[in-house]
Amino acid sequence: MNTVLRLLTLCLLAAAMTACSHTETKVKASDKFDSWDPKAAANYLDQRQITWMGWPSAWRDHDTFCVSCHTAVPYVLSRPVLRKALAEPSVSESERKLLNNVTKRVRLWNDIGPFYGGEEYDGNKIAESRGTEAVLNALILSSYDAQTGHLSDTTRAAFKNMWALQETKEDSRGAWSWLQFGMEPFEAKDSGYYGAALAAIAVGTAPEDYRSSPDIQDKLSMLVEYLNRKQATQSTLNRIMLLWAATKLPGLIKPELQKSIIDEVSSEQQSDGGWQLSPLAWPQDWSLHSLVRRHFRVDGSTQRTQSDGYATALITFVLEQDGISKADPRLKRALSWLASNQSKEDGSWRSYSLTKRRDPSSNIGRFMSDAATSFAVLALSEDGGHRAAFRGVVPGAVSKIPETDAPR
């Protein structure tokens, strides 16, 4: 009982500290959001992808590597936009290697090992690894196919793998088994919802009207039903992912739910124009665990109350995708925050672990900043750039997916 009272007291103190953080002086939002450096952002993201591919902990069998939610996936989504902004003639070397890696794993799907398995992990990790990877592969490949307007055979195979692993059990029916390491926001107990939203984004992003294919309609209906059935108890970050998915799949959610999510997010915007990450990352179940974790990491360190690069960039990007104008006061303030918070040191936008206090200059300590930087690029790019990247062909991007070294 004393432990519970102590935790509740700490929560009250942290809540008071958070309230104080909302009294900061408001910044004057500018109508110009071009005071950021695309070249520096590209250099940071390229180097981070190189680091990820060369990190022994990411290596897997058949000379492949794990595809991460925090570094690799956001990189794939943002790098084509930077290529357009920088007038680069072709994909970067890091992109090519990442696409080769995904292509190879899709083509060797029945022979290649899962991201996590073996004696050091419980039996669920194999299923979690397969479900997670299947969704990420489909998202990565469909996002590149969207640039050419053609759905490749490899991407069709990735979708086939994804649909084959869709859950049919009652509670999780329509979703996928998802990696759970107790690490928010990508690998936590509620991250299966995040993964299902990514699957919907992948389907809606795929060219040649893939979402209307007769052979996927039953599976797609299960996914839509799951996303709507589970949305009310999700974290705000997961509901933001649902809003993003709804921009890809018309009719996914009702207009009143769309408005509710936007209102919910708007109410959390801080006075400086950004968003704090920790209050958005836990389910709205008011459990003691969720209340404590909003304010404290598992190592006892306090969560940050400052506006955060990942939260601000993701929310800003999704609101733009939803059609909210950059002239809207909420977006003006958010874009102003992003434009003035790119690191002059390395071109990144800072975000911090929700799990432990980490050295922000270390490899692991940069994971959240990797995601933040990619979504900041998407949010700050001109409409013709990031919108085209997710809704059709990117002018001047790539004429085709680069040739791969993977076995055919």
Sorted by where each begins, the domain ranges of the chain are 37-391
What pLDDT band is residue 101 in, cutting at 50, 70 and 90? very high
Q: For the chain, give the number of residues.
A: 408
- Read off φ and ψ for residue 27, nearest 5 degrees: -90, 155
> What average pLDDT score do residues 278-306 get?
88
For 167-207, the pLDDT digits (tens) are 999 899 999 999 999 889 999 889 999 999 999 999 999 99
Q: What is the pLDDT of residue 396?
A: 29
| Whole-angstrom distance, CA of residue 259 vs CA of residue 280 | 17
Enumerate residues 6+ apart whose C-beta is below 8 A from 113.
Answer: 60, 61, 62
Average pLDDT value over all residues in the chain: 87
> What average pLDDT score do residues 328-334 get?
97
- Whether the per-residue pLDDT at 270 is higher than 90: the answer is yes
CATH of domain 37-391: 1.50.10.20
What pLDDT band is residue 20 in, cutting at 50, 70 and 90? very low
Q: What is the pLDDT of residue 182?
A: 87
> What average pLDDT score do residues 106-113 get?
96
Residue 133 and residue 102 in contact, taking contact as beta carbons nearer than 8 Å: no
- Whether the per-residue pLDDT at 31 is higher than 90: the answer is no
Of 39-48, 80-89, 192-201, 391-400, least confident by mean pLDDT is 391-400
Q: What is the pLDDT of residue 382?
A: 64
Q: Which residue has the tokens 């006892």?
A: 300
Q: What is the pLDDT of residue 32?
A: 53
Of 46-50, 123-127, 175-179, 361-365, least confident by mean pLDDT is 123-127
Q: What is the pLDDT of residue 286?
A: 73
- Whether the per-residue pLDDT at 345 is higher than 80: the answer is yes
282 CB burial (10 A radius; 0-12, 13-18, 19+)? buried
* Higher-confidence position of 397 and 149: 149
- Whether the per-residue pLDDT at 399 is higher than 90: the answer is no
Of 141-145, 293-297, 310-314, 326-330, least confident by mean pLDDT is 293-297
Percentage of residues in the chain having pLDDT higher than 90? 76
- Whether the per-residue pLDDT at 243 is higher than 60: the answer is yes
Q: What is the pLDDT of residue 288?
A: 84
- Whether the per-residue pLDDT at 142 is higher than 80: the answer is yes
How far is CA 408 from each of CA 100, 144, 157, 203, rounded to the nearest angstrom? 11, 19, 12, 24
Percentage of residues in the chain having pLDDT higher than 70? 85
Q: What is the pLDDT of residue 294?
A: 87
